[in-house]
Structure 1
Amino acid sequence: MAKGIHRLSARQIATARTGHHADGGGLYLQVTKTRARSWVFRYQRNKRRRELGLGTASVVTLQEARERAIELRKALARGEDPMAARLARRAAQRRTWGEVCKEYIDTASTEWKNDAQAAQWRQSLTDHGPDAKLPLEHVTDAVVLACLKKIWESKTETATRLRGRIERIWGYAHYKGWVSGENPGRMKGHLEFALPKASKIKKVKHHAAMPYADVPSLMRLLRKRGSKSSKALRFTILTAARTDETVGAEWSEFNIPKARWVVPPERIKGGREHVVPLCAEALAILDSMPKDEPPFRLSENTMLYLLNKPDKLGLPYTVHGFRSSFRDWAAEETETENFIVEMALAHTIKNKSEAAYRRGHLIAKRRVLMNAWEAYLSMAARVKIAA
């Protein structure tokens, strides 16, 4: 690079002859034989001289050219190659947002808990995210904000997850060198100034639970349907499991001879291994499932759609709500001690003396409880049981 900067004046630019005229710091005025004037930035990379065009002098002013040269020198100082970055950006213009989303999800999902998580990402981005056909560089602050505003107050939890996913995908594209600039999905110091705090608008919404007296009738309907989603819902109700525990289950977690389902800590909300004693109907459901893939490989919302969709069951309840149905049934219809029911639900026990029982899984006592739940769901019989 030539020594000294800001060498050129307006008059020199206007009267310069054919050739390259240094302004300093790698910035040159290039004048062709036809008297066309343009700005170029010269630098060396791996002992090779490179030249980057910055625009014609009739459009880009001297001051603007100098500002662009400053940014390029900063990039070089960071160890970046401005030419490679430009080529990457041009490639990104041919790369769509949908293509980048797919590539990121395919890459990241190898470390995720289960296939359902990838399905959730795809679904939320498809339903509420930027248009998949948009060129990557066109996914701007305005585009992201417009997507989020549509659901920020009506579907706050979905919106916050969507924002985080957009931020991750854009970050991935930035790491790959496909985009530059600020991340349009970033909340802190960015979107927080355009969107109200989620904690201020999020309404506490309890999971709609079916009265336990009605659950046996639902189970009869589900047994008649026989679809994969209906089997998954039956299994979830019988085991009082959470949705993600069911859809993320792997065959390796089941000990069929001992009639146990061991859910690993990383898939349990409380972060502790949870052992579920399996009743006869739960075992029969497992036996009916194909063995060449996880038993309940479904999107997390599949069971909810089965419950809620008018063309399905058309019921105003949530899958998670059946845990409350089970809890109410155990309190009303059995004499089971509270901490055993809490253990069946994989809840954290706050009482220290009761929590001491977690040193064991109390499988025998919980098996009695879960078998009684199965009997109730099969016969609708209100059976009192001893703990």
Structure 2
Amino acid sequence: MGPGSEGFGLKVTRSGRKVYVVQYRMGGRAFPTKRRTIGADGSPWTPLTARAEAERVLHMVGLGQDPAVAEQEKERQQLHGRFEQLAEHFLADSQRNWAPRTYINRKSDIERWLLPVLGKKTLCSITRRDITAVLDRIPDGRPALPRNVFVLMRTIFNWALGRGDIEKSPTLGMKVPRAAPERHHILADDELVVVAATAPKLGPVWGNLVHMLILTGQRLREVAHIEWSELDRVGRIWQIPRSRTKNGRDHVVPLNRAALATLDAIAGVEADDEEERKWPRSGFVFSHVPGTPVSGFSKVKARLDAMLAGTTDPTVRPWRLHDLRRTVATNMQRLGVRFEVTEAILNHVSVTQAGVASVYQRHDWLDEKRAALDAWSDKLVAMVESYQATRWEKPKKSKVLKKAA
């Protein structure tokens, strides 16, 4: 086959290697000749099979289809048709609608649970068995995770279905895993006092972090990632930016006396004059390495539990750090704080704040939140006094509660 001819041929290299090729033009003689390699002589390419492939290529050319372009499109579809590519596009599209924390959690779930099983699979090849394989990898000690991961997969495939990337979702007809039982655990007064009294043994960083959880009722990561730039000592407020809140809304938390004293201790403030007490302007409040917030919450909680196990009175029932937030909310109810104020302290979007009400009712409850959190600080002092009054052997008073007094 000559350089300018069209059709099937055999190319012999200088080393003697034989390669089957096919040449074609996409148009008349004015168009350049293109050469496409079929394969080297030998299995699976024999003169017979190679000629059949050449005829297929030339038939495509006769229909006006360039085999080289068609092959590139096929490779592109196979690449973008993999689940890992779909997940990347899904996250990029969803980031606009999710709160930053939600995005981080969903991205983590995709990377940890979905991609190891589904990542390299093409969308059309994913079946219910693959969905089940993802769920089977989740350890038994994570009761809420199977349902959350399944709902995430269903959301991704429904999104792909709406885009036309797939014709049918592999989750269709599958039963959603059962929801984890709701937790209603509240720490009793004496349990809370013992937790607060034991926390300083974790060290100044972790001990003060636990105290701030008790004093403010805010979410663990919101407290753990506080930056000094979010705090105003003069105004006694903590401004959590929407980028760090679960619902994507700015949140103002008034700081009661004990919270101020705790932050003063972290900042190393020793001035007697209230107006001379200055906090750093930047950096993380809770950090062991400059520029990096604390992490490893489960290990620290295990250490605290081991310390609590050494106390004989009272025995602290199994609990989680998030239970401190629920305990604060319950004590707000005991203090007679209005439901709307408690919801505002917790930064919950309740029914009363949704829909039209969220547009026209813009009261921020700042004064009411401050009064409630100050009352909570006073109650903590009363709880310590009550605990000590009923024990023959009085434990050392928690530093956080000394500050509140």
TM-score, reference length from structure 2: 0.56
The match for 1:306 is 300
Question: Which of 122, 130, 134 in structure 1 is aligned with 2:116?
Answer: 130
**Are 1:346 and 2:347 an aligned pair?**
yes
The match for 1:5 is none
- The CA distance in 2 between the partners of 1:264 and 1:165, in whole Å, is 28
- The CA distance in 1 between the partners of 2:135 and 2:57, in whole Å, is 34
Q: 1:116 to 1:148 in 2, by over 3 A?
A: same
Q: CA deviation at 1:318?
A: 3.0
Residue aligned with 1:371, SS: helix
The match for 1:329 is 331
Q: 1:121 to 1:82 in 2, by over 3 A?
A: closer
Question: Which of 368, 375, 381 in structure 1 is aligned with 2:378?
Answer: 375
Aligned length: 321
Asked whether the equivalents of residues 57 and 67 of structure 2 are also in contact (C-alpha less than 8 Å), the reply is no
Question: Which of 225, 232, 249 in structure 1 is aligned with 2:202?
Answer: 225
Q: 1:259 to 1:55 in 2, by over 3 A?
A: farther
Asked whether the equivalents of residues 235 and 282 of structure 1 are also in contact (C-alpha less than 8 Å), the reply is yes
The match for 1:294 is 284
Residue aligned with 1:151, SS: coil
Asked whether the equivalents of residues 376 and 382 of structure 1 are also in contact (C-alpha less than 8 Å), the reply is no
Aligned residue type for 1:259: R
The match for 2:182 is 206
**Are 1:192 and 2:181 an aligned pair?**
no
- The CA distance in 2 between the partners of 1:233 and 1:252, in whole Å, is 21
The match for 1:274 is 251
Q: CA deviation at 1:243?
A: 2.8
- The CA distance in 1 between the partners of 2:114 and 2:308, in whole Å, is 26
Q: CA deviation at 1:293?
A: 3.2
Q: 1:190 to 1:348 in 2, by over 3 A?
A: closer
Q: 1:137 to 1:274 in 2, by over 3 A?
A: closer
1:174-207 residue CA offsets vs partner (Å, 9 max, x unmatched): xxxxxxxxxxxx99835426x934xx21314323
Higher-RCO chain (CA-CA 8 Å, sequence separation at least 6): 2
Q: 1:295 to 1:52 in 2, by over 3 A?
A: farther
Residue aligned with 1:307, SS: helix
Asked whether the equivalents of residues 114 and 134 of structure 2 are also in contact (C-alpha less than 8 Å), the reply is yes
Residue aligned with 1:228, SS: helix
The match for 2:235 is 258
Q: CA deviation at 1:219?
A: 1.3
Asked whether the equivalents of residues 284 and 293 of structure 2 are also in contact (C-alpha less than 8 Å), the reply is no
Question: Which of 147, 150, 164 in structure 1 is aligned with 2:137?
Answer: 150
Q: Cα RMSD (Å) of the superposition? A: 5.6
Q: CA deviation at 1:221?
A: 1.3
Asked whether the equivalents of residues 254 and 261 of structure 1 are also in contact (C-alpha less than 8 Å), the reply is yes
**Are 1:362 and 2:365 an aligned pair?**
yes
The match for 1:59 is 44
Of 112-121 and 306-315, deviating more is 112-121
- The CA distance in 1 between the partners of 2:230 and 2:58, in whole Å, is 58
- The CA distance in 2 between the partners of 1:50 and 1:313, in whole Å, is 78
Asked whether the equivalents of residues 253 and 262 of structure 1 are also in contact (C-alpha less than 8 Å), the reply is yes
1:122-149 residue CA offsets vs partner (Å, 9 max, x unmatched): 6874588529xxx979999599754443
Aligned residue type for 1:256: R
- The CA distance in 2 between the partners of 1:68 and 1:299, in whole Å, is 65
Residue aligned with 2:369, SS: helix
Q: Percent identity?
A: 19
